[in-house]
Chain A
Amino acid sequence: MATRTRLARLWPLSKPSALPLIRPYHSYDHPPPPGPFNPTESSILEAAIPHIPTHGFTHTTLSIGASDAGYIAASTNLFPNGAFSLVHYHLYTQRLALAKHQHIISPPPREGEKPIGIGGKVKALTWERLMGNKEIIHRWQEALALIAQPSHLPTAISELSSLSDEIWFLSGDTSVDTSWYTKRASLSAIYAATELFMTTDKSPNFDDTRDFLDRRFKDVQIVGGTMGSVTQWAGFTATAALNVLRSKGVRI
């Protein structure tokens, strides 16, 4: 095993797959493995977050955050990705913050009211995640420019897929077939589109964004419903044809 490790270390760059693209086994008995940031990094980034509305996703914000957290300004050297670390930290913390919305995830049962379904929870959680961008939305285009850089794209995409996985999981979805993929893909597409729309939204309380999000969900429902109906029809017809043939004595 030592040989293998040393060999692997000869090409450190050949292992960029350190990204959590595959989200493995989520244990309830054992604590989760550490996240992408260590305590020092977290403290600097946390201190930097309040400065984003004024200074944007820039190196300046990082320096201010470092001095606020009690480190010298040069400690921004901790972040080889520079300002992208701010973006990553924002995406990461906002994703984890979704689990705090207990009133959506497990609402207290009310008399005479139908409990909110999985679809409703997905919608509500997506909206909450978008509202996590409220403070920094006028700076978000800078972040999108950073995300679009090829070296940062894998992290950003993996964060997006983790986000949609998190939303479906928190909503209580338990499907583990092909729809696992289609659900996450469609939610990621909806989220990315709505986030982009939100950067130019000037309406009070982001009403336009809300309408946009509702329309996107409706589109997906129509497409999904049509696909479901077609599949059901095809399945029924095939089974019926098979049974007719069997009733005629064909040995199939």
Chain B
Amino acid sequence: MALYTSSKHAKFLATGLPIYDFLAPSLLQASRASLQIRHLTKAKRYHSAAASNEKHDKSPSQPSRNPRSGADAASNPPPLKKPLTQAQRDFLTSALRVNQAGELAATLIYAAQTPPIISSHPHLRPLMKHMYDQEATHFSTFNALMAKHRIRPTAMYPLWTLAASALGWGTAIMGREAAMACTEAVETEIGGHYNGQVRVLLEMAEQMEKNGDDIGDELKDLIETIRRIRDEELEHLDHAVEHDAKQAVPHELLTGVIRAGCKGAIWVSERV
């Protein structure tokens, strides 16, 4: 879309024609969020078209920016850092929200699994405690990030609380192997999910670097945090497989159902 808009725009400029914005108003209008009131003057339109060019920084052939008068350029120097685009902000919002929901569920699963498991297999106590403690740290990390960045928690919070506790308790009752299979299924999904997020974030960082923008410590820290947490989740996966997760009786069925549930929960939490 950026290419489309900007090449059109560039053509207009090259031919020196006035912009017939009354003919194609929607092509030149910025997709500014919360645009309640349309602006009509030409100067403003230039401004918003420039903003939309900046916004869609994916366009490979950056068209020449709109000529600005000296006075205009002097009175409005470009900001040091550009605002994040709507798409980037949306991604960060849903990513942090779904991560918090996931860690909430993980904490509750381990908390519900621990008592039945350690009453029948006391030697697993340190392992369960270790995994629970790590999940609790992740949960508080994401809680802090959510509060800091003013992100709405998922509306399904009470539902996930119930579902995760029921899942943890249910699999623990079914025995050690089933509980470990549950861990295996959940951590596989979560690991893949975090991997996807890291990939998108790295792409975003690369894109910003290419455009000469500063990424900022905030995003760098976020990438580091998610990477670290992903590694710890995958470590849990290894623990689960070491403890006979594959020997759970309907292994395929159990992990399949749990993984489908995880996927569904991720899909929902990203949206509401």
Contact = CB atoms under 8 A, between A and B. Distances in A.
B207 to A, nearest CB: 14
B149 A18 contact: no
Interface string B111-153: 0000110011000000000000000000000011011111111
Contacts of A18: 33-36
Contacts of B34: 18-20, 35-36
Interface string A165-192: 1000100011111101100000000000
A56 B135 CA distance: 56
B210 interface: no
Nearest to B38: A80
Contact of B81 (A29, A173, A175, A180): A29
A5 B79 CA distance: 28
Interface stretch (B15-23, B183-191, B214-222, B256-264): B214-222
A198 B253 CA distance: 62
Contacts of A35: 34
Interface residues of A, number: 49
B116 A40 contact: no
Given A2-B4, A5-B1, A20-B33, A27 B41 contact: no
Contact of B44 (A5, A30, A38): A38
Given A27-B84, A29-B218, A36 B37 contact: yes
Interface string A22-62: 11111111111111111011000000000000000000000
A30 B116 contact: no
A180 B151 CA distance: 10
Interface centre among A30, A85, A177 (most CB of B within 10 A): A30
29 contacts: A1-B1, A5-B1, A18-B33, A18-B34, A19-B34, A20-B33, A23-B152, A24-B89, A25-B84, A25-B89, A25-B93, A26-B149, A27-B83, A29-B81, A30-B218, A31-B79, A33-B32, A33-B33, A36-B34, A38-B47, A40-B41, A78-B37, A80-B37, A174-B144, A174-B147, A176-B153, A177-B153, A177-B157, A252-B169
A14 B26 CA distance: 14
Contacts of B35: 18, 36
